[in-house]
């Protein structure tokens, strides 16, 4: 009954998800306007938007397992909007770094990407995310045929690259990036049904 009700109100769920994704950015803009970003505002903005992108990416990857386990197929239709929000946060993250840390100099951004391995990984993740974002629309999907799924499986590489980018960027406080790495690894194993209890087994048990 709940499933039918939620499926019927998918538009409401989508509006809610858009609002929840947008709200932190509005809050961040307000905090910036109020000059309440602490002693190092640029670092605060970079960290906030980077973490936002990573969280949204992992939430996107949680949708399929949840939809399969609960047999809520309609939830799959929220993946694109969540993925695009992850891309939006990543773009804001890089723009802040480029604009405020590197004074908008493209040559400096390129040399950072070449010189610092953790930035190279971030850049690779961003390029893949952009490719996934621009091909996420239905008409492109139809045109790409079976190549579409192959390309979109790269999202799991992004889910591993970004926590490594995070882990590598911090000098101390490794617990949080390590937890993100474990979560990303868990989602990857779940996708390939490599866990002792896979989703399909779980669903079968539910049927019994």
According to the binding rule CB under 6 A, does residue 58 interact with ligand HEM? no
Locus of tokens 């040399």: 111
Q: Which of 14, 18, 47, 152 binds ligand HEM (CB under 6 A)?
A: 47
Q: Whole-angstrom Cα distance, residue 61 to residue 179?
A: 16
Asked if 25 contacts 92 with a C-beta cutoff of 8 angstroms, the reply is yes
Would you say 75 or 121 has its CB closer to ligand HEM? 121
Using CB under 6 A as the binding rule, whether residue 97 contacts ligand HEM is answered as yes
Helix runs in the chain, H state only: 2-8, 10-33, 41-70, 79-96, 106-115, 117-134, 138-144, 146-152, 155-169, 175-191, 199-207
For residue 53, the minimal CB distance to ligand HEM (Å) is: 3
Q: How far is the CB of 110 from ligand HEM (least distance, A)?
A: 10
166 binds ligand HEM (CB under 6 A): yes
- Which is closer to ligand HEM, CB of 8 or CB of 105? 105
Per rule CB under 6 A, is residue 119 in the interface with ligand HEM?
A: yes
State how far the Cα of 153 lies from the Cα of 145, in Å rounded to an integer: 14
Q: Give the three-class secondary structure for 74.
A: helix
| 64 in contact with ligand HEM (CB under 6 A) | no
Cβ count near 5 (within 10 Å): 8
The smaller minimum CB distance to ligand HEM, of residues 67 and 85, is found at: 85
User: Which chain residues interact with ligand HEM by CB under 6 A?
Assistant: 43, 46-47, 50-51, 53-54, 57, 86, 90, 93-94, 97, 119, 122-123, 125-126, 129, 162, 165-166, 169-170
């Amino acid at each position: 009954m709940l499933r039918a009700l939620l499926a019927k109100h998918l538009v409401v769920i989508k509006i809610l998800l858009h609002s929840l994704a947008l709200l932190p950015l509005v809050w961040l803009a307000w905090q910036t306007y109020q000059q309440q970003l602490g002693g190092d505002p640029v670092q605060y903005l970079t960290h906030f938007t980077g973490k936002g992108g990573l969280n949204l990416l992992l939430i996107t990857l949680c949708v399929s397992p949840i939809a399969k386990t609960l047999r809520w197929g309609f939830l799959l239709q929220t993946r694109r909007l969540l993925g695009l929000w992850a891309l939006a946060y990543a773009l804001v993250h890089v723009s802040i770094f480029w604009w405020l840390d590197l004074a908008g100099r493209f040559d400096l951004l390129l040399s950072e990407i070449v010189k610092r391995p953790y930035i190279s990984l971030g850049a690779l993740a961003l390029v893949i995310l952009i490719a996934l974002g621009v091909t996420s629309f239905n008409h492109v999907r139809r045109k790409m045929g079976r190549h579409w799924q192959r390309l979109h499986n790269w999202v799991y590489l992004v889910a591993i690259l970004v926590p490594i980018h995070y882990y590598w960027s911090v000098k101390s406080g490794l617990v949080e990036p390590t937890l993100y790495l474990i979560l990303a690894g868990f989602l990857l194993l779940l996708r390939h049904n490599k866990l002792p209890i896979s989703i399909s087994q779980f669903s079968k048990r539910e049927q019994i």
